[in-house]
Chain A
Amino acid sequence: MITETQQSLAQAVVARAQADAAAAPGQSIPLPASYAAELDAQVAAAEANGPRWLADLRRAGAAAARAQGFPTTRHEDWHYTTTAAIAEAAFPSLASASGAVTEGDLSDFTFGHAEWPTAVFVNGRFDAARSTLARLPEGVRVRPLAEALREEPEMLERVLGKVATPEAQPFVALNQGLFVDGLLLVVQKEMEADVPVHVLHVTDATGARGATHPRVAIVAERHSKVTVIESHVGLGDAAYLANPVTEVDVADGATVHHVLVQRQSARAFHVAHVEARQGRDSHFVSFSFAVGGQLSRTNVYTLLGGEGCGATLNGLYLLDGAQHCDHQTRIEHAQPNTYSRELYKGILDGQSHGVFNGKVYVRPVAQKTDGKQTNNTLLLSEQAQIDTKPQLEIFADDVKCTHGATVGRLDQTALFYMKSRGLTDETARKLLTYAFAADALETIEIEAVKDSLEALTLARYTT
């Protein structure tokens, strides 16, 4: 049953996207027919089984996905990253978890803290046997999304698609049309979680040539505090697509730390979208660590929607071979006295290609905005390449916004200094390379996560 209002909403989305496409031809590749069929099936299922808002959400997602297709490099937001290979592969949604993942398979990914509350998703489905959600911190509630859709749809209606929307976001649109599972995490007001919650998204060997579209919704109520780690990992070396979307609602006075750890398999496609909406005096602290995948794109967006709030978006990407890794951040200063801090660092070897696009919008009302953005790249080979693009659009007149980008190679003077103390050329190079990454990793607040990522980085450059 489709009401007129709902139809016109969906039509409006389509009309807008078509208008955009007409204005700039060649910006997109048509959506593969198999995806269109999957989207139709999800719309039909939601229409048949309800709830009605879900059918609306599916329709809007499907319409936006159809209208936008897959972006090409003529699309402004995708200028350095082609999604043609993803469109061509057209990996179908994985139907179920394999059930074959063991505790041992996951031990490399638990930061030495298997006892932390961990929600494990295998091939996009919640794996109760591998998850440890018995000892959640007081005031924190989690529920697998598929279960929440059955048990508390009215709660999800208030949350899903409210922060991350499909307009001008082809992969968010696809996710909205196709998500089947994921996590709902709610922190009650004034509760401070004393341990992090780990959401571990796994694609195992049976997930080869398949796709997952997990959706995570984090709701931090007034004056609450929580840390959520989301790991996206691949077991084996298969090609697959992961298309996760995470929405974070940070209420007044709340603090959310969000750590993304991308360790997908070497042939994986990974397109992630994290979007936060922040209330007054809230803090959103994000770290994106990326080492995996043949092609990865990570969006980290936040809307500084309350006075006195702020965001810290940091990241580190370590690339080699023919890897392509693209980060796009977007910070919208929408209220006065808001701050943003960004430090993204990349170490690029082989023929790898890094992209950093940092958007900062300052609305006319957002006076006294204090923004600082830094992107530093260390190139270890002649063929490695970085495209770094700060993008500041400032419409208020009393603001402080700075940005800086550096691209360099290992400091020859420092190398000589270290060698003059007896360190071999190789050791000196590796130590200097690690040192480049160290100050970004230093910013991670959870000690075990910081130590673990430092160890990963150190091992990568010293063995």
Chain B
Amino acid sequence: MLDIKNLTATVGDKQILNGISLTVRPGEVHAIMGPNGSGKSTLAQVLAGHPAYEVTGGAVTYDGRDLLELEAEERAQAGVFLAFQYPIEIPGVSNAYFLRAAYNEMRKARGAEEVDPLEFLDIVEEKARLVEMDPAFLNRSVNTGFSGGEKKRNEILQMAVLEPKLAILDETDSGLDIDALRIVADGVNALKRPDNATIVVTHYQRLLNYIVPDYVHVLAGGRIVKSGGKELALELEAKGYDWILEGAAA
């Protein structure tokens, strides 16, 4: 589904990604861990097409297409979804309007009919229950005045509505208390299907108790320095990152 080969990227004149290779197949959950500044979030943003990052080398194939050739909206329409570490507030645009606009863009991209506001309300209210969100939030401006936990739940609600093939969760656990973490993780798990895949970017092992990964990759200095199964996350939790970084440097 996703094949990243030797990807390098810069922001400004600073190189952040130094040759990342990673293969994600349908049905898999990959966790990307690593210390602050290792390039985890950059990888997530580059995959979503953030214009601030410049890809300087390597290739990314998604569903047989050159992902790097696609605009951010084309990637989204092709089923790539990034749950933001810091979701953006958009005062003046209601959550319901925004979600429906996005949902209809997806449908248009697939050649399906757009849905009207009433039809959409049924769809979105069902999805809102999944993340235990009060439907009143649908009438509020996107993320405006939401608490940290509400913003993260809103990200998962968007994911639930848009039903991506490849979901990238960028530190979705940061700033969440245990109840919010559980709600978010339950939402992600409920959306898991054999034909979609998830990349979970996180600093802590805690989230992986709830979203169990098939693979864990450790990112340091802009490259993957170690990969393993879910037990690698536990090892990192117990021993920290230093032993891997030392091993990688040796």
Contacts and interface: CB of A to CB of B under 8 A. Distances in A.
Contact of A423 (B48, B73, B82, B91): B73
Contact of A425 (B73, B98, B158): B73
Interface stretch (B20-28, B100-108, B174-182, B229-237): B100-108
Q: How large is the interface on A (under 10, 10 to 19, 20 to 34, 35 or more residues)?
A: 20 to 34
A420 B82 contact: yes
B90 A424 contact: no
A289 to B, nearest CB: 16
Interface string A424-463: 1101100110111111000000000000000000000000
A418 interface: yes
Given A421-B76, A422-B73, A423-B73, A435 B93 contact: yes
B71 interface: yes
B62 to A, nearest CB: 15
Contact of A438 (B51, B75, B76, B92): B92
A395 interface: no
A447 to B, nearest CB: 16
Contacts of B106: 422
A198 B87 CA distance: 44
A404 B102 CA distance: 34
Interface string B71-89: 1110111000110100110
SS class, residues of chain A in contact with chain B: helix
A200 B233 CA distance: 71
B92 A439 contact: yes
Interface in B91-129: 91-93, 98, 101-102, 105-106, 109
A422 B109 CA distance: 9
A391 B73 CA distance: 44
B98 A418 contact: yes
A428 B90 CA distance: 11
Given A431-B101, A436-B92, A438-B92, A419 B87 contact: no
Contacts of B71: 419, 425
B93 A422 contact: no
A422 B90 contact: no
A380 to B, nearest CB: 16
Interface of A: 411-414, 416-425, 427-428, 431-432, 434-439
28 contacts: A411-B88, A414-B88, A416-B50, A417-B90, A418-B90, A418-B98, A419-B72, A420-B48, A420-B73, A420-B75, A420-B76, A421-B102, A421-B105, A422-B76, A422-B106, A422-B162, A423-B102, A423-B105, A425-B71, A425-B73, A427-B101, A431-B98, A431-B101, A432-B93, A434-B92, A438-B92, A438-B93, A439-B92
Interface of B: 48-51, 71-73, 75-77, 81-82, 84, 87-88, 90-93, 98, 101-102, 105-106, 109, 141, 158, 162
